[in-house]
């Protein structure tokens, strides 16, 4: 804390801040970053294997293989979240599971599972996209703008 702010604190407040600083849990930042990097890379490796599988056995091209790959990754994430496996995995990995598309699938299904007791329409249906709704909306809007620009430029 800067000295200017320390001057405005009473001795009791300064003592408490020192006490708090001594007992604060030290976070292993480097260890967490390495975990996130390795797990995020592992998720991307699985995505690459799925992509190669689709290209090899279903004759997708590099341009068309992205959509089914993303759909399979989201489906696997939702399945693992439903069984409670993904949450334990995410606790270990941190941001390594939130950054890839699997974080999107987890956000959607977690909200749906949390509100399932309220019913299918008012619980699951209305709360499913609370976290991920803005991502979907901005994604669809961005795709519309890009398609509109491309259409106007190719006229």
* Residue among 82, 76, 121 nearest 100 (CA): 76
CB atoms within 10 A of CB 87: 13
pLDDT at 140: 85
Q: Find the mean pLDDT for residues 71-78.
A: 92
Q: Residue 6: what pLDDT?
A: 56
Select the more confidently predicted residue: 122 or 76: 76
Q: Residue 58 carries which DSSP code?
A: S
Band of the pLDDT at 11, cuts 50, 70, 90? Answer: confident
3-state secondary structure of 141: helix
**% residues pLDDT > 70 (the chain):** 95
Average pLDDT over residues 48-53: 96
Structure tokens at 130: 């609370």
pLDDT, position 123: 77
64, pLDDT greater than 90: yes
Average pLDDT over the chain reads: 86
* Distance from C-alpha of 98 to C-alpha of 118, rounded to nearest angstrom: 27
Task: Note the pLDDT of residue 7.
Answer: 65
3-17, 42-56, 138-152: which is most confident:
42-56
**Residues 117, 111 contacting (CB under 8 angstroms):** no
| Pairwise pLDDT comparison (83 vs 126), residue with the higher score | 83
The mean pLDDT of 36-45, rounded to a whole number, is 93
Alpha-carbon distance of 82 to 56, in angstroms, equals 30
pLDDT of residue 128: 76
Domain boundaries, the chain: 27-128
97 vs 38, higher pLDDT: 38
Does pLDDT of 37 surpass 70?
A: yes
């Amino acid at each position: 804390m800067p000295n200017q702010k320390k001057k405005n604190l009473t001795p009791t407040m300064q003592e408490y801040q020192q006490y708090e600083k001594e007992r604060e849990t030290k976070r292993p930042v480097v260890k967490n970053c390495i975990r996130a990097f390795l797990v995020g890379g592992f998720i991307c490796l699985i995505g690459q294997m799925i992509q190669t599988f689709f290209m090899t056995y279903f004759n997708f091209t590099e341009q068309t293989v992205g959509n089914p790959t993303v759909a399979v990754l989201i489906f696997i994430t939702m399945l693992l979240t439903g069984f409670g496996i993904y949450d334990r995995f995410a606790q270990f990995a941190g941001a390594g599971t939130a950054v890839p598309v699997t974080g999107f699938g987890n956000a959607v299904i977690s909200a749906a599972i949390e509100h399932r007791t309220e019913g299918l329409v008012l619980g699951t249906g209305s709360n499913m996209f609370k976290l991920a709704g803005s991502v979907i909306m901005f994604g669809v809007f961005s795709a519309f703008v890009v398609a509109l620009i491309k259409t106007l430029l190719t006229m």
